[in-house]
Amino acid sequence: MNLWEKVKGQFIDVIEWVDATGDTLVWKFPRADNEIKNGAQLIVRESQMAVFMHEGEIGDVFGPGRVELTTNNIPVLTTLKSWKYAFNAPFKCDVFFVSTRQFTDLKWGTKNPIMMRDPEFGPVRLRAFGSYCIRVSDPAAFIRQIAGTDTLFQTDEITGQLRNILVSRFADALAESKIPMLDLAANYNEMGDLLGAKLQPEFDDYGTTLTKFLIENVSLPNEVEEVLDKRTKMGLVGNLNQYTQFQTAEAIEAMAANPSGGSGAMGMIAGVGMGNVVGGAMQGAAQPQPPAGGPPPLPPAVQWYAGINNQQAGPFTPEQLQQMIAQGQIDRDTLVWKQGMAGWEKAGQVDDLQGLFGAVPPPLPPD
């Protein structure tokens, strides 16, 4: 051993960890042959814990602060190993630093869709994703169960297992909740808090605490979302006739404001007119049909036209004609017509109207 090595051996031994990675959970203090000098200074910073291990067995655990390592302040190892030299000579021991800060923005998500039965839409497939936060609450248990003797243990070595636990329990809770698909967004916070409390016992086994569990989104397959968007549009349109009438009014207003663009405006109005036709057909198709085996729909009322004062009047229903006959507005010589007749005929000569004149009393005889 040269002079410099002898001089270095006289310096106070300092054991500490400054983490610059941001994703390290456990770091083993490096030391040749794991030798630690008597009186070594242990520095544990806030959000850290130091775990001493000798021959694979965990001994003392130190929290934040500065400690001079002597026989008196590491009693567990002293008792376990019955060190008879009272640290007059260097001793061999592994020192693991464990980060106890929160590790945030860890992602979870479903690899495959979750099948569930929705009360409104029936069977649906849902995907979900979100984030969660953890911290090590029991360093000794974490090393025993997870990290072992790994000299550098980072978050990506455990997040896969934690994500599997979260997804499995989330899928079960989502199916059991029976919350309608369209109401899930209003229950993200409640479900996250409930699942966080329910999952904590499983995280305790790993010496960790699930400090936050967030559901960011629950979504449908793309093709189902497209159909749902169409349904939403139909709900926004509402009454198709009123909608197309509004479009027609807008087109006429645009044509009036831009006389030079008449051809384009006329094309717009023509398109709206076609929309009216299609809208009317759609509304007609949407009307409830009579059940199979039921009576047929009522026939449309007959429409009559009459020549009154040398002018065409109407259309009139048979009931209206009867009132007009009773009031003397129409007599047997009044010309009438309805669809299906070859031409105008006197009302008194039309068989369908004979009964109407028979129900009217004749005029009073002269005095």
Please tell me the distance from the alpha carbon of residue 64 to that of residue 185, in angstroms, as a whole number: 42
The pLDDT-based confidence of 93 (bands split at 50, 70, 90) is confident
What are the E-state strand segments in 65-207? 65-68, 91-92, 94-99, 103-109, 114-118, 122-136, 152-154
Nearest to 58 by CA among 147, 161, 152: 147
Per residue in 280-289, pLDDT (tens digit) is 555 555 555 5
311, two tokens: 């002018």
Q: Residue 330 CA to chain centroid, in angstroms?
A: 69
pLDDT score of 269: 53
DSSP for 46-76, written as a single string:
TTEEEEEEETTEEEEEE-SEEEE--TTT-HH
Residue 86 has pLDDT above 60, yes or no: no
Residue 312 has pLDDT above 60, yes or no: yes
How many other CB atoms sit within 10 Å of the CB of residue 91? Answer: 21
The pLDDT-based confidence of 353 (bands split at 50, 70, 90) is confident
Q: Which residue, chain included where needed, has tokens 């010589």?
A: 333
End-to-end CA, the chain: 158
Please tell me the distance from the alpha carbon of residue 55 to that of residue 97, in angstroms, as a whole number: 17
Residue 351 has pLDDT above 90, yes or no: no
Give the residue extent of every domain in the chain. 9-99, 103-138+153-223, 304-358
Q: What is the mean pLDDT of the chain?
A: 79
How many other CB atoms sit within 10 Å of the CB of residue 294? Answer: 8
365, two tokens: 């005889």
36, two tokens: 């630690």
Please tell me the distance from the alpha carbon of residue 132 to that of residue 254, in angstroms, as a whole number: 54
123, two tokens: 């069977």
Per residue in 13-50, pLDDT (tens digit) is 789 999 888 899 999 998 766 677 777 889 999 999 99
Q: At the top level of CATH, which class does the domain 103-138+153-223 belong to?
A: alpha beta
Nearest to 15 by CA among 123, 115, 109, 91: 91
The pLDDT-based confidence of 247 (bands split at 50, 70, 90) is confident
**CA 356, 360, 365, 367 torsion: positive or negative?**
negative
User: Prior bond to 64 cis, omega within 30?
Assistant: no
The one-character DSSP state at 365 is P
The pLDDT-based confidence of 108 (bands split at 50, 70, 90) is very high
Per residue in 149-205, pLDDT (tens digit) is 889 999 999 999 999 999 999 998 888 888 888 888 899 999 999 899 889 999 999
The pLDDT-based confidence of 5 (bands split at 50, 70, 90) is very low
198, two tokens: 């329910």
Burial label, 18 (beta-carbon count in 10 A; 0-12, 13-18, 19+): exposed
Instruction: Please state whether the predicted TM-score (pTM) of the whole model is above 0.85.
Output: no
